[in-house]
Structure 1
């Protein structure tokens, strides 16, 4: 067995296809091999009449559930981006194709989003027909911390959060729990973590008339709301609904009486200034896009993240500071939000491919 095969456990029990992400030491971070195995399995089950629905979960060091997926394998991205490894291009093309397949899957796809659900983990769960969260869910799109942007369809699903919540989550990378995930339309239902195993096992033992019946069974075991507070979004909308990034940071820094405003401004000042401008434009463009169009835009953007300025990738530098050298001191270029020229961030939205040759040209919604 290839090593990568151990990271995706796929089984059919009864009428349901079950997938367990099994790379617990890396919090199930997605490698290229895992993306390929997931894509191949979902394509096979899509046309298998014996499989009525798909359920997916993560695992942790002590067993199943616990954590869903912490994202993509950023160490691989750093290595590949630093050395010109062509598998970098393969990773993003195939990961985004996987994200699109999940969003457009013709059968119910049920995601058990326990524990950490971030980055690439959101990409393989936000397109689910039923998104189940627990009291342990920690959800975020923290890509700006590493000089990237919320990809894997992040433009599409974050831009559909209420008000300016999408801009806030995309720019800051802040983490939310189950109650806010449901309130912000990033999850559908709540299930106590201790009950996940029983529901999962029951799916293998029941007889179902249809895929819809499988999903209805899971939904019948869940709750529409989760315990926990949901913050008022008034301040979020007031700040992150402003027309420009500069207006946002100015407003936050001027509000010296607000602990939230000061903490949020400080967080933004630590992010890549260039990528903050890119991300704001991404979220606002994506509001008018379907999933396929958004993923094509993000594929253009991620190419530019690594190759727009040779030797000056914000993403390579951000991952270096966070996960490789771990000095927590990225040298962003430009260094300040005020110093980013408009032409530089707008270049991220110019596709390097003609439409007919785009690596995701075949995606259709």
Structure 2
């Protein structure tokens, strides 16, 4: 549909798998790389950052909507294979990517106008970094939401140590350690989404947007655009799982202890099929993901609960740097995304072998405070 209220405002972005146009004073920004589930390349990060800055400065823009092209995903994360190639090639081009990505995520978190993120379909990793900074996060029945980084020897980043800290501590540990995939309804229960709506409702939001009056509160007006008048949210599996999560993911327990309690409960005879399946799936995650990064992630998630947004990004960048340069990242990507043998050779290979000193090393910044690439982040209050 084309109307006088819809016009192209940034043709150059299209060259970087990104497009933007305006509908009734709202910038609609589309991640346009559907064949790769809209995974973020460095060029896309830079193009999106430029668009966000333009929208911040343009007084005619009252809000921003972030969405993904195609019907399979909002954004599957960063282009991990490209990062793996950069890391193998030597140098630190990969570090520039993360610095730019984190600055972009921070800009969305601190954006002075309402941002809407349409988490329709796969929304993982870097996609969560974009979405969780939005003032209105919309999931659907097609949403698949996760932070699966420990599976490839990495850490939940892009601000995860901050936005997961808003969850109950047991739930934040469960989501961050296991990489469990949440449905749109689960995300609503976990407060990782503000609305959960039928995907078909999003097909027509531009028509409603055209009729929106911006004389009042912009965020309230946006809720009327995206919230159906009669909305029935599907059942959330997380509702029944929460007692199990609280039982096993105690903040005082190390990952080895969590795995031990899961094993112990699996020996019980009276378990329901659903409960047994959850226990086994959760245990499988904790015994197949990188042992080092599981323990590092647990510590980072707990520390993040006491940090500002900027401090969380600085901590994450340090962990990411150590994971790529001296950790399990390269081996994890090789095993799961390059060779696909699904047999990563983690170092060390088991949770019991992970030394506390090694965990603390990953959490120690590689830079002095003033030399940190994100040293200036948060100079104004978070």
TM-score, normalized by the shorter chain, greater than 0.5: yes
Question: Which runs of 5 or more residues in structure 2 are unaligned?
Answer: 1-10
Determine which of 270, 283, 294 is the counterpart of 1:276. 294
1:354 aligns to 2:368 (yes or no): yes
Partner of 1:226 in structure 2? 233
Q: Which moved more, 1:329-338 or 1:263-272?
A: 263-272
With over 3 angstroms needed to count, the CA separation of the structure-2 counterparts of 1:267 and 1:93, relative to structure 1, is same
Partner of 1:165 in structure 2? 171
Tell me, yes or no, if the aligned pair for 2:138 and 2:196 is still in contact at 8 Å.
yes
Tell me, yes or no, if the aligned pair for 1:189 and 1:225 is still in contact at 8 Å.
no
Q: Give the C-alpha shift of residue 349 in structure 1.
A: 1.2
Counterparts of 1:226 and 1:6, CA distance in 2: 36
Counterparts of 2:89 and 2:128, CA distance in 1: 28
Count residues with an aligned counterpart: 357
Counterparts of 1:73 and 1:49, CA distance in 2: 33
1:77 aligns to 2:79 (yes or no): no
3-state secondary structure, aligned to 2:131:
coil
TM-score scaled by length of structure 2: 0.89
| Matched ranges for 1:56-205 at <5 A | 56-60=66-70, 65-205=71-211
Partner of 1:305 in structure 2? 323
Partner of 1:318 in structure 2? 332
With over 3 angstroms needed to count, the CA separation of the structure-2 counterparts of 1:295 and 1:274, relative to structure 1, is same
Determine which of 17, 25, 32 is the counterpart of 1:22. 32
Tell me, yes or no, if the aligned pair for 1:159 and 1:167 is still in contact at 8 Å.
no
Partner of 1:55 in structure 2? 65
Counterparts of 1:325 and 1:222, CA distance in 2: 48
Q: Give the C-alpha shift of residue 363 in structure 1.
A: 1.4
1:331 aligns to 2:337 (yes or no): no
Q: Give the C-alpha shift of residue 332 in structure 1.
A: 0.4
Tell me, yes or no, if the aligned pair for 2:125 and 2:157 is still in contact at 8 Å.
yes
| Matched ranges for 1:221-260 at <5 A | 221=228, 226-229=233-236, 230-241=239-250, 242-255=252-265, 256-257=267-268, 259=276, 260=278
Counterparts of 1:214 and 1:46, CA distance in 2: 19
3-state secondary structure, aligned to 1:232:
helix
Question: Which runs of 5 or more residues in structure 1 are unaligned?
Answer: none
Partner of 1:212 in structure 2? 219
Q: Give the C-alpha shift of residue 5 in structure 1.
A: 2.4
Tell me, yes or no, if the aligned pair for 1:146 and 1:319 is still in contact at 8 Å.
yes
With over 3 angstroms needed to count, the CA separation of the structure-2 counterparts of 1:38 and 1:89, relative to structure 1, is same
TM-score scaled by length of structure 1: 0.93
Q: Which moved more, 1:238-247 or 1:318-327?
A: 238-247
Counterparts of 2:131 and 2:51, CA distance in 1: 16
Q: Give the C-alpha shift of residue 219 in structure 1.
A: 4.7
Q: Give the C-alpha shift of residue 261 in structure 1.
A: 2.3
With over 3 angstroms needed to count, the CA separation of the structure-2 counterparts of 1:343 and 1:130, relative to structure 1, is same
